Amino acid sequence: MARILVTGSSTGLGLMAGALLAGRGHRVTLHARDAARAEDARRALPQAEAVIAGDLARLAGARAVAEQANRLGRFDAIIHNAGIGYGDGRLTRTPEGLPEIFAVNVLAPYVMTALIERPKRLVYLSSGMHRGASLDLDDLGWRQRRWSAGGAYGESKLLDVLLAFALARRWPDVFSNAVDPGWVATRMGGANAPDSAEDGRATQAWLAVSEDKAAKVSGKYFHHLRERAPDAKALSVALQDRLIAQCEKLSGVALPA
């Protein structure tokens, strides 16, 4: 059985995916933003092997999660599920001065990827909203552009696909893929979301552990267990490399060769 870390899993799709994997006998570690949510996660999924805590809106929090994960030993797969939506549309900045949407959705997965002992599989949660998203790698902090919460969210999800594909190229011994889980009725998705929870959690769990030939691929984008075409910008090697360089500059954390 595999050992899997699922970030952002005290509730929502992360918890659902963790429950699916644990129910199939895999050893699942959950992640929550703080100690109180960690206790909620333990109660929600008592069969979880461990729960770690750290606020991914802060670089120190992402580093802390990586340190805790490494103390637990090597994982077979990491599902980078943690993410935030655009809420009421206001721009909220982290202590480092970055938009929270970018910090949580993109920079934290990069930092954890760089610092956690390399697993066999990496899964990054994206969204159908990555298609057609504007992209400005010179202004990831949204200092030059007029703020758009929806635009920032779509951009962050495009950056997640770029990150997954960059890792697939740089680490050929790792299966690294991106997933659109669909619009599911979670705290972020809202009560009127049309997709089912089962569909929403299935693909990332499948990519994390399945021995199916279709799951043992890298540099692909999936929706509901099927490979889909991503936005063409996600295929650009130049953009992938620029994202890695910008994340390294903003975080001070280098991606291992």
Catalytic residues: 153, 157
Backbone angles phi, psi at 96, to 5 degrees: -85, 0
The edge-to-edge listing of strands for the beta sheet with 77-80 is 50-53, 27-32, 3-6, 77-80, 121-125, 175-180, 221-223, 226-228
Give the E-state strand segments of the chain in sequence order.
3-6, 27-32, 50-53, 77-80, 121-125, 175-180, 221-223, 226-228
The whole-angstrom distance between residue 8's C-alpha and the CA centroid of its chain comes to 8
Asked if 85 and 11 touch (Cβ cutoff 8 Å), the reply is: no
Q: Which of 166, 79, 158 is nearest to 116 (CA)?
A: 79
